[in-house]
Structure 1
Amino acid sequence: MANHHPMLLFLGLAVLALQPQIAAASRRPQPPPWCPKKCGGVDIEYPFGVGPACSLSDGFSLECVHDTPQLRLGTEQQKVKVLDINLLHGKIRTANNISWQCLQDKQTGRLVNSSWTGLDATALPYRFSDEDNRLYAVGCNVLVFLNGSVAASGTNDPILNACISTCFGNGSINAISNGSCSGTGCCEMAIPRGLNSYGLVFSGPLVNNSWPGNNWCSYAVLMEAHSFNFKASYATTDEFSRKNHGTVPVVLNFAAGNKTCKDARMRDDYACVSNHSVCVDTVDGQGYVCNCTRGYTGNPYLTDGCIDIDECAARNHGCPDGMICSNFPGGHNCSCPEGEHNSNKSGVLICEPDLKRYSLPVSVIIAIGVTGGIAIVVMSILSSYLVHQRRALADIKRNYFKRHGGLLLYEELNARKSNAFTIYTEEQLEQATNGFDESNVLGRGGHGTVYKGWVAASDDLVVAIKRCKLMDERNRKEFGKEMLILSQVNHKNIVKLLGCCLEVDVPMLVYEYVPNGTLYHLIHGGSAATAAAISFTTRLRIAHESAESLAYLHSFASPPILHGDVKSSNILLDESFMAKVSDFGASILAPTDEAQMMTMVQGTCGYLDPEYMQTCQLTEKSDVYSFGVVLLELLTGKKPLCLDGPEEGRSLSARFLAAMRENRVDLILDEQVKSEASGELLEEITLLALECLHMRGGERPAMKEVAERLGGLRKLHQHPWTQDVVELEEVRCLLSDSPESISFEVDATSSSGY
């Protein structure tokens, strides 16, 4: 052994180390040669296959029925038509049915629909592509819910999103334009990453007897975005469904396995078996796909499936005229014929005769000088280009800053003697979030993402940075003015807006960081036992503090501010578990004229003011109604909207109003509330909730009155010296026992609160 060469010993050990991977690749069965390569006009490539042993797994097995490839999805084995397979990008296009709802009888309001239609791909290897697909709703005054699940860390988490399309009057219908799917006659919504199953549910027409003309139908579908081109006629006719024959394409991402590349390489069923293949993790981190390395093409799932690309065989192989192209595995070279050498003249590579041996040294010096001059010119051109690009980027940022009202905001802030509001640069916020790193994400959704960050300050201030995806044109024009007003909002029960960044297409907002989660998660996020243990004293205090903040926005801010999206997930809890109302940065200033009253329908299902849904006029009484729903959550421990039950029982506010009419409200109140609150106190607070939920906004109390009445009820219920301490310790214990209840989500029903 002592005589063996060290290099031979090293090679022997390397071969032994590679044996498990070689053996794993050799054990993976390959498809038999008789497997069909086509079905109709669609190429069928492994890992997909038609017939026994022709596919990688059951999830990739296709059926060829009447020259049409079909795929079975989910536990119900739904059959979908396959339109195209993009092997190297890990995508498959299938046909998807358009869902519909029609008014069968305009006099009685009877509806027929295809509710709960959708696709189920919960079993690997499929996910609906969030890059390629969007949810579209077409028609007038229609509300569509997307109810599904998202794959995350081996679980399927439920999600619920909504899309609203409105048409208020003939003037609104006539204003619909081709290609504009902005909420009038058509709405679109991004889908969450990792969506693996969904169903579509229509909620009846938002306004009764509002169906235009004789078209009493509306449509909704999840489909490939670049295949959808909205036409104004879609909103008032059946052209959208008829033109597409009831089906449209939808894109699915597939994965060869449910492991990451790092873990998959160690398994016997590793799918990237070809030489010169490479493993690529999927974007949602729930699997991997295979590809060929650069310079190779073919099928990485087959043994020796990746073959070298002969660049020299192509007409445009990249070598200049007169040069010889030499192919080698993974690439190619360009060389000159014998007796010539390559030369770069005026930036063009050419072949020139070699210099004779007897050439004078002066000619060599000249050649070197010319080459050096060319190099200097090239470097100068490159430097000029980089300077131009840097100036162009600065111009773009300057235009964004000006368009968002940054000049006015900057001048007004400088005029103040003391101001805690800061205008941040994009580089500052990138540094604060480590380049918007995924590990700093507090919550995400179809409208944007919230990051945790540390801005450079005397003590490294912790902040929450809201990075939105979209902004309508009205908000762009008024953004600087609204920031100036919102920066002056200062109340202990309102999340402080610390600053903004204006030099990007959609401005980013910077809030104070509130660490202890949302009221929604305190009530609904933990176990049923934990939620039930929240004392009545705690619930009453949080209700009072939230009402105080809304009363401040309505009555003491100048000009008054309407929140527009009051809900329990927009009420945060700080270090002392004091309530802080958030997301008022998305609010609007109180309208000053009739034109400003009309706006897009905004808010969250379950909390929406029914009068606002009829008129599209957002008032302070709309916030009062939404607060009434939050008060019901605190009193009952139930969610504001539940789609699992019968239609008449889905809304918490509707169930409460029915219980009040039938004098059986005690049946829906939380047991903890009934056991701790006196009968007189319960009667007063349920009466207050009833007044807040009045169908006519003019009959509802103002938020200032609501806050005063809740303050009086607190004084009536709690001991002034000891109750606050006991209550604080009780909330701390609840949250320490259920750390999983403090989480951040962003969707139509629950958000990060920012």
Structure 2
Amino acid sequence: MPPRKSFSEASTTAKPGCQTKCGNLTVPYPFGIGLDSGCSIGPWFDVNCNNSKPIIANNLEIVAISEQQVRVKNWIAFRCYAESGNVTRQFRISINLFGTPYTFSEANRFTVVGCDDLARTDPIDGSCTGIGCCQTPIPKGLKTFNSSLGSLKNHTEAYSFNPCGYAFIGDEERFEFHTSDFGDMGFRHRTMENVPIVLDWAIGDLSCDQLKKNGDFSCGENSDCVDSDMSLGGYRCNCSEGYEGNPYLSPGCTDINECENNPCDEHGICANTPGSYSCSCAKGYKGDGTKDGLGCIAVNSQFPVIKFSIGLSIGLLSIFIGVTWLYFGIKKRKLTRMREKFFEQNGGFLLKQQTSNESGIFFEQNGGFLLKQQTSNESGIEFIKIFSAEELEKSTNNYSEDHILGKGGYGIVYKGILPDQRIVAIKKSRMMDQNQIEQFINEVIILSQVNHRNVVKLIGCCLENEVPLLVYEFVSKGTLFYHIHNNRLRIAVEAASALAYLHSAASMPIIHRDVKSSNILLDDSYTTKISDFGTSRLVPLDQTQVTTLVQGTLGYLDPEYFHTSKLTEKSDVYSFGVVLAELMTGKKPLSLDKPEEERNLATYFIMSMKEKRLFPILEPRILREGSLEQLQGIGELVKRCLNLKGEERPTMKEVATELEGFRRFSKHPWIGHENAEETEALLGKPSGLSSDLYTINVGGVFSIENYSVPNNLDGR
């Protein structure tokens, strides 16, 4: 379709008897040349033709007029300086359009040119689009523009290449900045000539609907009334689609003869219609006659377009289905091979080899993998399932961030919901080397042999991913550290009982090696659960110690184990002694922001016991609710657990027995009270320390170089 002519190019542009041109500018109605000449629709549309220069409103020289906008010659604010910083010349601008049917268009931009300049213009209420808000666009409806320039250092540091600064608004599409503008003294004149100010215009302040009701409608035939979008009311007239001309003058808009530009096929026939056109094919041809459609095809050699299109579509669809099937088949085989590779890489065969050698555990493959676990009383059999990658992806919504329970030293833990609606915790390990894979397998082996109500239960694992995953029972109440002020003694007894079980009642003794308050979890009923067996070790029945690379968490590590690398069950006793000290004092095992003698809790506790000042370091609540004899007795137990010599420490079974004895006292600050206030307090004071299973590991794996062992912890 040919482009529609502007109303300034219409055959009838001005009212009869009125001048149509001022200089080179054609002035279309509703504008008119001459002040009070009656050639315009109103006084604000009068154009004063002064020496062939068309002037409108407040001395603005018109450059062009369109159906929606008027472009006028620009005004530039400037300020120039001497090398000394003195102002040599300056000019402020002020353009006020209040009372006129014009507003500054959004096509303008407020522009400042200069290296050491500040420019300001008046803000408009309710707008934050560059005026008063450090933004450069011009807001819709702006009626006045005032601008002046200032400088931070009067151009003394930029004078050599930029003696002047400039500020103006103008058509964004017409201004292009060049660095040469800094020193170009002709910049102001060139910008005034080439970058016009764009003004939106409208007639009156009534909408089209209001005009129709009043019967004062100015739009002619074949035109549409358009409400102004300047937010100040008013309207304009536009020719309807397929028509052109001046919609404000009789006879209105006239039909465009689209056929003059031959919009149809070369064998087509164009027929002009009011506001449009139609195409048909000449005799001997068939089709819709359009250039962009089927065109015109000779009847005797007509190509079977429909049949060809259907056949082509079916063929392409068949190819697409085949390629898709082949692609997904290859992808599935690659995925299967990749998962087999990950299974081997993540220690699947090592796990099979290890479990085949363990009593009561074997590895089975029968449509899936299962680890069989013999219960502690041999009365039944539980199975630890090896999950597929799809099962765990589905249960965690593809490991979405809103399923993250926490991040630990060895990976991230997600909350998952299995198909049987069980809620589980899925521990996704980080990238592993061979040593870490052995730790992962070690944790599976150990938890496969443990069946104790106070040890976190392993439900299964997955070896088909790039990194292995462990699936635990979901322990909902967080870590001991979160609840260190409530139910203390019961929790301590349960934790000690669990460790005693690992040391002496399991089928093969297990040394945890990373006992700390953040690895003691609590379930819905606040039952204690020992977790994180990644660094644990199995001890053959004919041995009492194993020699290993030193691993553990700062503040909990057994000094004797650190010096000798010989791991015994007494190493766990020392770490548990630190946990008991935490329970009594409420202090962290390491506090680098405290005085030197208080930084290591174990050292501080032993010193306090030796100097007979235990009670000042205890939590005030414990002193208020417990007897001094009970507190002294528990303090002596902690002191024995923290003895530097492992052989002089009690066993975990002895610790559990003594704690159970203290628990039987009728009144003690560590006894849990089943009431609403206690439960509310339990849930209301989370700690900053976090679990290695559910949140960030405070200690992590460390090296000997960054750990200092106390030398004065002898509790004898």
TM-score normalised per structure 2: 0.49
Larger Rg: 2
Q: Which has the higher helix share?
A: 1
TM-score normalised per structure 1: 0.47
